[in-house]
């Protein structure tokens, strides 16, 4: 599981939390918060949802690449998919 480390503005893994703090839970007192979703991408930023959780923001390029791949996998040609996304 991943968490947001607001002090360093990055992700921290639960294994690192265990090694450093002896827990695999969020520690808001240290600026370590739960994420609203577990990203399979490198976030370009984080948004505070105001309820103790943070949303990891995916880059536009990453989202566009995933969309392009999905359209091609559905049967479109690369050219058709690019046109749809333009």
Give pLDDT, residue 86.
85
Q: Give the start-to-end residue ranges of the domains of the chain.
A: 2-58
In tens, the pLDDT along 10-69 reads 999 999 999 999 999 999 999 999 999 999 999 999 999 999 999 999 988 888 888 989
Q: What is the pLDDT of residue 62?
A: 80
Q: Count Cβ neighbours within 10 Å for each residue of 22-47 and write b for 16 or more, e otherwise.
A: eeeebeeeeebbbbeeeeeeebeebe
Q: How many helices and strands (H and E) does the chain possess?
A: 3, 5
């Amino acid at each position: 599981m991943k968490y947001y480390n607001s002090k360093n503005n990055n992700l921290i893994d639960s294994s690192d939390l265990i090694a450093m703090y002896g827990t695999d839970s969020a520690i808001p007192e240290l600026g370590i918060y739960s994420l609203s979703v577990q990203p399979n991408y490198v976030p370009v930023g984080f948004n505070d949802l105001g309820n103790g959780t943070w949303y990891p923001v995916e880059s536009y390029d990453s989202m566009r690449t995933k969309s392009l791949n999905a359209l091609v996998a559905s049967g479109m040609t690369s050219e058709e998919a690019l046109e749809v996304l333009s």
